[in-house]
A and B are shown apart, each in its own frame.
Chain A
Amino acid sequence: MDLQIALLLGQDGITNGAIYALLALALVLVFAVTRVIFIPQGEFVAFGALTLVSLQTGRLPGTIWLLLALGTVIVLIDGSIALRDRQFRRLPMILLLNCGVPLMLGGALLALSPAGLPLPVQVVLALMLVVPLGPMIYRLAYQPIAGASVLALLIVSVAVHVTLIGIGLLFFGAEGSRTLAFTDISFEVGDALLQGQTILVVVASLVLIVALYFFFERTIYGKALRATAMNRTGARLMGISGTLAGMLSFTLAAAIGAFSGILISPITTIYYDSGFLIGLKGFVGAIIGGLASYPVAAAGAVLVGLLESYSSFWASAFKEVIVFTSIIPVLVWRSLKTRHVEEE
């Protein structure tokens, strides 16, 4: 391996690592706040990418149907609860948020013919289609059992994951696709060619990470999420309900997932089920951070990206094996390092 190849692989590894880092952060966030191990995180990557593909190829993204279907179910459930409690004033809001907004989006898609729109508008449209799925899935799948054990929540996660994969196949078909490149600029750095798209992915990831940092450190809603992760009872007594925190963290996780998918879709061919493997690598990063530390999770995820890229050069058949085996020494190290404190 000469320097040129090493640089190329490094570039590749960091690009993927940046995406894994974003997903790792989302996984840590969701777990810390809701204790849900969010396996469907990867599906948001695939849905984000493939929804953008649909928009660019002039098809109506299937995502809109899912949005409408979930919205309708939520209206039926929340609506009947509001009727039972005689809280009629809540009805218009429930209807508007869950059915009105998806209908307006659908109308906009039909009216605008998104294929001809500029790229940033397409990206915004794709995010608007995918991100609301996060809180909707929380409302339907997790909120009713929010107090259940981590294991029960994990089983629900597996179910949601399998369902979304199936829906993805139905909506987007079995073929993989790529979106149009955001930019075709490239730079010569020494011997190596630096792709503009790569720089874009890394910069966008960094910007998003910084934005998340500010959200958690500087805004009252970010602090409320951290507070819920630290002390659920304490947070509840301040009026920060578990439902609010869950909705908020799932919205963020969905946004991070969809955004990641949109970022990598010009570089990687995305299939309806590609998200799982991508999400799983983010998960390895999150595990390195013990599902608790954001910086360690992000660093671990970048490490996973590099490991994957270099092992694909030396032992491409064992690429995934090497990545996922690396979790074992991490787990051993973590279990040796943490002392188990007996409950008082």
Chain B
Amino acid sequence: MKPPAVAEERTVVLEVSELTVSYGKVEALHGLALKVHRGEIVTVIGPNGAGKTTLLAALMGLLPADGEIVYLGERQDAGRTVEKLVRQGMTLVPEKRELFAEMSVEDNLLLGAFDRYRGGHRDHLETMDEVFDIFPRLRERREQMAGTLSGGERQMLAMGRALMARPKLLLLDEPSLGLAPLIIKDIFRTVAQLRKTGVAILLVEQNARAALHVADYGYVLETGELSLEGPSRELATDRRVIESYLGLGGRQ
């Protein structure tokens, strides 16, 4: 019954239209529309305060939102909660990582599979091995407390923990935040590799250059509205994007 592979590639995982999010009377996001396909990396770039984190929080059910969100072909109603979305394979790696600081790397990963475990799946050990293959650093540190990890390792752990849920849609909030350039390169290389696992990735980034480099498609978010969109290669050469986000280096 499986559709042919080519069709599967283009399966829409997430489709959002007219998304509006308000904090009280202040509108943080206005009339957003975006689409993420299976196995695709889509990035939303934009400056600080544009509403990038708000967008992910709204998609994850942490914030109430108006508009239409269709996830895995199902229209989300007002009763959507973080827990229900996690059950349906949506996972957020938050900007602040939100790790369990006084627990070992291994336990942090294990809890990433909590919902699958509760749902009757007992494959967390195999999944953990896969995560360790993606992030060998975490295997070395498996006994270490999460709170004692370096910034880069924490980001790896946050991503590894999210992958433990075997997500269908991975929401990444500023994975490059506060990391050294070499480590950022590492993290983005891993993000690009994840595409092969078939997971759809929505990557929100201030670091436009790195994000456009790995992404297939990109959106530019400015003060709560999407101002530009297109295949990331085209965006990376767009004059307006270069001037605002990439600086002179983008022309090289």
Of the candidates B97, B101, B114, B118, the one having the most CB atoms from chain A within 10 angstroms of its own CB is B114
- What chain A residues lie within 8 Å of B103 (beta carbons)? 223, 226-227, 230
A132-166 CB contact bits vs B (8 Å, 1 = yes)?
Answer: 00000000000000000000000000000000000
From residue 239 to 289 of chain A, which have CB atoms closer than 8 A to chain B? Answer: 239-241
- What chain B residues lie within 8 Å of A334 (beta carbons)? none
Cβ contact within 8 Å between B100 and A230: yes
Work out how many contacts link A and B, with CB atoms closer than 8 A.
64
Cβ contact within 8 Å between A239 and B83: yes
The complex places the Cα of A66 from the Cα of B103 at a distance, in Å, of 39
Please count how many residues in chain B sit with their CB below 8 Å of the partner chain's CB atoms: 27
- What chain A residues lie within 8 Å of B114 (beta carbons)? 220, 224, 238-240
- 5 A-B Cβ contacts within 8 A? A220-B114, A231-B100, A231-B101, A238-B115, A239-B114
Q: Which residues of A contact B (CB under 8 A)?
A: 85, 220, 223-224, 226-227, 230-231, 233-241
Of A223, A226, A230, A241, the residue contacting B83 (CB under 8 A) is A241
Measured between C-beta atoms, what is the minimum distance from B243 to chain A in Å? 33
The complex places the Cα of A233 from the Cα of B86 at a distance, in Å, of 13
Cβ contact within 8 Å between B100 and A240: no
The complex places the Cα of A241 from the Cα of B81 at a distance, in Å, of 10
- What chain B residues lie within 8 Å of A236 (beta carbons)? 82-83
The complex places the Cα of A224 from the Cα of B103 at a distance, in Å, of 11
- B54 proximal to A (CB < 8 A): no
Measured between C-beta atoms, what is the minimum distance from B119 to chain A in Å? 9
Measured between C-beta atoms, what is the minimum distance from A235 to chain B in Å? 7
From residue 60 to 88 of chain B, which have CB atoms closer than 8 A to chain A? Answer: 60, 79, 81-83, 86-87
Cβ contact within 8 Å between A223 and B82: no
- What chain A residues lie within 8 Å of B202 (beta carbons)? none
- B23 proximal to A (CB < 8 A): no
Q: A230-B100, A231-B101, A241-B81 are in contact. List 10 more A-B contacts (CB 8 A).
A: A220-B114, A223-B103, A226-B103, A234-B97, A237-B86, A237-B92, A237-B94, A238-B86, A239-B83, A240-B114
